[in-house]
Amino acid sequence: MARIFVTGSADGLGLGAARALLDDGHEVVLHARSEQRAGEVHRAEPRAARILVGDLSSIAATRGVAEQAHATGRFDAVIHNAGIGYTRSRRVVTADGLEQHFAVNVLAAYLLTALITRPDRLIYLSSGMHTGGAPNLDDPQWTKRRWSGSGAYSDTKLLDIVLMRAVARRWPDVRANAVDPGWVATRMGGRGAPESLVDGVRTQVWLASSDDPAAKVTGRYFYHQRAREPLAATGSAELQDRLLGYCAELTGTPLP
């Protein structure tokens, strides 16, 4: 039995992955952005060992989630599932002055990675839309470019892979991988999405808990349990180090 923490697990892919892991007999800690959402997920999935609470659009609240995580003990795996989609028609700025997609999809994953005791496995949720992201950090907060919700989302999903590959390079003792869950019928994906929730969660569950040699790798990007090559720019050590440095500057917390 493994201890696994799943961020953004009040519904959708996160809750689906948590349920699959619970069905397999693992101890799973969930996460919700508010006490109200935590109550809802507790009623939906009472088998969870604990539900951590914190809005990952806030640096301070993300630190709070990390502190709660420490209080539960070390995890064998962490699935960084939390994220927001791209339906927003305008640029939303968080209380920290950051573009919201970047704050939730990238910076929160970075800060939790830096603060939570290293697990054996780390899984970051990306997307096939990462190929449309800007392979640089010239304007991560969208202060210079004309706003595009889909563009902001694509940027962050590309940077999630950059973050994963940076962690895999820096921490060779940890198996860090990224997942494209596909276009899944969730609240984010919409009812018309062609792929099922079961298909969407299978790969992160496999990477988090399986003894299959194919799952015990690092620095890879997967779609439906098959490794794929992400955008070549994600392999740039220079871009990886720039992202780590930028996130460390924003949070005041370098990656150990």
Q: What pTM was estimated for this model as a whole?
A: 0.95
Query: What backbone phi and psi angles, to 5 degrees, belong to 124?
Result: -115, 130
Pairing of strands 3-6, 226-228: unpaired
H or E segment and range at residue 111: helix 108-115
Tell me the CA distances in angstroms from 207 to 50, 187, 218, one per residue in order: 22, 24, 10
Catalytic hit among 124, 157, 216, 246: 157
Q: Is the pLDDT of residue 189 over 60?
A: no
- Domain residue extents for the chain: 3-251
Lowest mean pLDDT among 85-89, 151-155, 226-230: 85-89
Q: Do residues 126 and 160 touch, judged by C-beta distance below 8 A?
A: yes
Beta strands in 7-116, from DSSP E residues, in sequence order: 27-32, 50-53, 77-80
Query: Is 4 within 8 Å of 23 (Cβ atoms)?
Result: no
User: pLDDT grade, residue 126 (50/70/90)?
Assistant: very high
Can you read off the two tokens belonging to residue 194? 């062609």
**Is there a catalytic annotation at residue 153?**
yes
Architecture of domain 3-251: 3-Layer(aba) Sandwich (3.40)
Can you give the pLDDT at residue 198? 82
Q: What is the pLDDT of residues 132-158, one digit of tens each?
A: 999 999 999 999 999 999 999 999 999
How does the average pLDDT of the chain come out, rounded?
94
For the segment 15-52, what is each residue's pLDDT rounded down to a tens digit?
999 999 999 999 999 999 999 999 999 999 999 999 99
Q: What is the pLDDT of residue 90?
A: 86
Kindly tell me the burial class for residue 78, based on how many C-beta atoms sit within 10 Å of its own C-beta (0-12, 13-18, 19 or more): buried
For residue 137 the two structure tokens come to 């950090």
Q: What integer is the mean pLDDT of 206-229?
A: 97
Query: Among residues 110, 124, 153, 221, which one is catalytic?
Result: 153
Residue 187 has pLDDT above 80, yes or no: no
CA-closest candidate to residue 153, choices 122, 188, 177: 188
